[in-house]
Amino acid sequence: MTQAMERRGADAPQVHRPQRANQPWPVEFWSSAIGKKWVMAVTGLGLMGFVFAHMVGNLKMFLGAEEFDAYAESLKTLLYPIVPENGVLWAFRVGLIVMFGLHILSAYQLTRMNHRARPVKYQSPRDYIAANFAARTMRWSGIIIGLYLIFHLGDLTWGWFDPQFVKADAYNNLVTSLSRPPVAAVYIVANIALGIHLFHGGWSMFQTLGLNSPRYNGARRAFAATFAVVVAGMNVFFPIAVLTGIVSN
Amino acid sequence: MTKMLNLNLKVWRQDGPDSGGHFEEYSTTVADDASFLEMLDYVNEQLIADNREPIAFDHDCREGICGSCGLMINGQAHGPQKGTATCQLHMRKFNDGDHITIEPWRAAAFPIIKDLAVNRAAFDRIIESGGFITVNTGAAQDANETPVPKEAADAAMDAAACIGCGACVAACPNSAANLFTSAKIQHLNLLPQGQAERFQRTKAMVETMESFFGSCTNYGECQEACPKEISVDFIAMMNRDYTKSMLVNKRRLGERKVG
């Protein structure tokens, strides 16, 4: 609105810096909170696709070392020879890094914005009605998942914690790593955090993207709950399967 | 049969916007058919009789339609009863011997004026930035000249029920005003009369909102606190309209000179 507006009544305090006018739309969208939430939802959806595919791929461990290693090896030759070896794998890696980066960056900036919006907290305890545990702990479950991601890459991609680590010997590395109870415990705890994160995120993204209709509103929560239970449940089962000897070398 | 309730109150007292506040404790005995604000009136009468400063709080119509009142009661915006503003909350919802903690709304955009009264001018700024809708002036047109489907009218009316009390901001852990703003946007965007300035309005109001309040993380706490039970569905509609406004030709938004 360009017309001059006369200010009446009490002044409202300025809390955040207002948006600059006449920006190109991607800049404008990113500088708005709704835009950042949209980015968070879309990258979250992409990352959900990744954790789902990752979990399905890991199911190969129940077929034995040969199948599992062949699957790990096959990721390097996706779309080969149209795309050079490792090409698709690296495209996925770059895509995942970008999605993680944007997801974390928007979360960080929105959290800062929210803290500025209430500098003085309630001095008496709050009694939440709708805000569930998952929603209220998104920042913490997110941090746990981020730290776990670094640990997981260090453990099974770079072999930081295992002197017998052999590059590209995926099955043996996995079994050696997960047969150590403390490592298995890290995997179990982190994947429970992932499940909690997905339970809120898998529902929240629909609202953020404006996907709301009485036709499917009921199914949104069911989708998030099912997705969280299937992905996190299977991921928690992998270390248990190794510890109990269902998967062994 | 009227019951008398002995209550222990813990009320936030603060002299002005910039002075520090603290809780003060009062005990009082009121009839259970008093409203929550009548209970505070009674406490204030006692305070005045004792030559002490009465508790300041906002109120006007006391029938749940003006949006003036609003208190954080035991950690819940407008207290324990769903779909009810503080003025329509009655003491029969409490028990004899209860401890009740009363705090003002807390948000950077809602500075405390005194005690429990907050300045909600930020809401007025959001409304102002929405601007006008284009209508014919002159002789009034026939009542049913513009066809409006009953369903659209009902949905718009659900959004228009917003009284602007600020409970959504108060209840939101992020101090977001998305429920308020989406209700104010969607009660027009759902109607044919609101289409002409639809994206201009959405964009301007969202940007003004975001200069004052936090961001929505879909807790759903606002919907529970809302005395008019406005649904978070309107937030999703606003998100969608705001996203679309990014792709609308900027000339239509008045952001580029024509020609």
Inter-chain residue contact A117 with B106, CB threshold 8 Å: no
* Cα within 13 Å of Cα(A154), Cβ side: 10
Same domain, yes or no: B53 and B90: yes
For residues B59 and B125, state if they share a domain.
Answer: no
How large is the average pLDDT for residues A151-169? 90
Given pLDDT bands bounded at 50, 70 and 90, which one contains residue A23? confident
Whether B180 contacts B127, CB under 8 Å: no
Domain limit, last residue, from B112, B144, B162: B112
Same domain for B165 and B147?
yes
Q: Are residues B162 and B199 in the same domain?
A: yes
User: How many structural domains does chain B have?
Assistant: 2
Q: DSSP assignment, residue B144?
A: T
B151 and B195 housed in the same domain: yes
Amino acid (1-letter code) at residue B116:
L
Contact (Cβ atoms closer than 8 angstroms) between residue A209 and residue A195 = no
ipTM > 0.85, yes or no: yes
Amino acid at B118: V
Q: Does A110 touch chain B (CB under 8 A)?
A: yes
**Yes or no, beta carbons of A130 and B223 under 8 Å apart:** yes
Domain ranges across chain A: 33-119+131-243
pTM for this entry? 0.93
Q: Which of B112, B135, B154 is the last residue of a domain?
A: B112
Domain boundary among B96, B112, B128: B112
Is the same domain home to B135 and B236?
Answer: yes
B104 part of a folded domain? yes
Is A20 near chain B, with CB under 8 Å?
no
Q: For residue B35, give the CATH number of its domain.
A: 3.10.20.30
Contact residues for A73 (Cβ-Cβ < 8 A; gap 6+) = A168
Contact A161, A154 (CB under 8 A): yes
For residue A233, the SS3 value is helix
Beta-strand pair B99-103/B72-73: antiparallel
The 3-state DSSP class for residue A229 equals helix
Residues B70 and B8 in one domain: yes
Q: Among partner residues B119, B173, B242, which is closest to A131 by beta-carbon distance?
A: B173
Whole-number pLDDT of residue B259: 53
What is the pLDDT, as a whole number, of residue A163? Answer: 85
Given a cut of 60, whether residue B258 has pLDDT beyond it is no
Residues B143 and B33 occupy one common structural domain: no
**pLDDT single digits (tens) B34-53:** 999 999 999 999 999 999 99
CATH code for the domain of B198: 1.10.1060.10
- Do B68 and B23 sit in the same domain of this protein? yes
CA A10, CA A8: separation in Å to the nearest integer? 7
pLDDT for B22-33, tens place per residue? Answer: 999 999 999 999
- B237 and B127, same structural domain? yes
pLDDT grade for B143, boundaries at 50, 70 and 90? confident
Nearest to B107 by CA among A30, A16, A38, A208: A16
Across the interface, whether the CB atoms of B239 and A29 are under 8 A apart is answered: no
CB atoms within 10 A of CB B196: 15
Interface contact B207-A126, CB threshold 8 A: no
Sequence length of chain A is: 249
Domain that holds residue B107: 4-112
Per-residue pLDDT averaged across A136-164, rounded? Answer: 94
Query: Does residue B136 sit in the same domain as residue B243?
Result: yes
Shortest CA distance to B214 belongs to which of B203, B224, B222, B223? B222
The pair of structure tokens assigned to A197 is 């994160």
- pLDDT for B207-229, tens place per residue? 999 999 999 999 999 999 999 99
Contact criterion met (CB < 8 Å) for A15 and B108? yes
Considering the domain architecture, whether residues B39 and B158 belong to the same structural domain is answered as no
| Separation between Cα atoms, residue B168 and residue B246, nearest integer Å | 26
For residue range B77-115, what is the model confidence (pLDDT) as tens digits?
999 999 999 999 999 999 999 999 999 999 999 999 999
CATH class of A33-119+131-243: mainly alpha
Within its chain, how far is the Cα of A212 from the centroid? 22
Which of A12, A25, A37 is facing B125, going by the closest CB pair?
A12
